[in-house]
Amino acid sequence: MGKSKKRRHSDLDEKDILRKIQKLNEKVEKLLQNSSNQNT
């Protein structure tokens, strides 16, 4: 059971991680834009 779960998890984890990274990148970009706007 453990092995089959790990396989499924790894696949889901990769997709989840990619989605989270994309979301974080978007947040970082927005934060950078906001901070740059505030500085100027």
Residue type, 39: N
Condensed to tens digits (0 to 9), the pLDDT of residues 1-40 reads 556 666 666 777 889 999 999 999 999 999 999 888 876 6
Single pTM value for the model: 0.56
Q: What is the sign, positive or negative, of the torsion defined by CA atoms of 35, 37, 38, 40?
A: positive
C-alpha distance across the termini of the chain, in Å: 57
